[in-house]
Amino acid sequence: MTTLLISDLHLDEERPDIARAFLRFLKERASQAEALYILGDFFEVWIGDDAMTPFQRSIAEALREVANQGTRIFMMHGNRDFLVGRAFCRLAGCTLLRDPSRIELNGAPVLLMHGDTLCTRDIAYMRFRRRLRNPLSTWLLRHLPLARRQQLARKWRDASRLQVRQKATEIVDVTPEEVPRIMAAHGVPTLIHGHTHRPAVHELQVDGRNARRIVLGDWNRLGWVLQVDDRGYHLDSFPIA
């Protein structure tokens, strides 16, 4: 049995190369897998299921085609697409996961996260996130006029890109102490997340035991996928073009 995990595709009409690579990935790899997990920031921006563009709908329909072939598809919110809702999931044939989610892979517990909540040193972002992800704030956002949501999305996207360039590297990466804390709290030896765009496998100790943190890569010049099968865990990249 093969499970695939990806994150941070930031799908957008401005990057048709990434969309093409993803559709090829669905056809050639995901359709052969038992399960596909998408750990956030699947889309560059999402302002509500009611504002789904033809491009976004085509991606949902491609996911549905793979789901209809038997691949179970799971999706987690990221910081760019946290307004993805039930309507999209119904169209795409996917199940929305909580962040974090504890699952089992190869007979062992694994914690899945998008990863932004691990960056606790970014105090301004964490404060902004708490306000924005409050259920009342989310409800209000979904009910704003479409033009206003589009304006806010552009503003937040531009601000996010600027902050990433300006902030120190250690601030936009995970807080080292937060990783073993949350892994111990959930009783897992493996944590898988995205968000930081720093693909790697990190070995660490949690409560005196060997553990690992696997960081998924963003899709830009390369696509990244973590494959889990009877041979173990394999973090691989491939050309987008």
Q: Which residues are annotated as a binding site for substrate?
A: 79-80, 122, 160, 167, 195
43 in Cβ contact with 84 (< 8 Å): yes
Selection from 228, 122, 150 nearest residue 236 by Cα: 228
Binding residues, by number, are 8, 10, 41, 79-80, 114, 122, 160, 167, 195, 197
User: What is the secondary structure of the chain as a DSSP string?
Assistant: --EEEE----B-TT-HHHHHHHHHHHHHTGGGSSEEEEES--BS----GGG--HHHHHHHHHHHHHHHTT-EEEEE--SS-TT--HHHHHHHTEEEEPSSEEEEETTEEEEE--SGGG-TT-HHHHHHHHHHTSHHHHHHHHTS-HHHHHHHHHHHHHHHHHHHHHS-HHHHSPPTTHHHHHHHHHT-SEEEE-SS---EEEEEEETTEEEEEEEPPPSSSEEEEEEEETTEEEEEEEE--
Q: How far is CA 126 from the centre of its chain?
A: 17
Binding residues for Mn(2+), by number, are 8, 10, 41, 79, 114, 195, 197
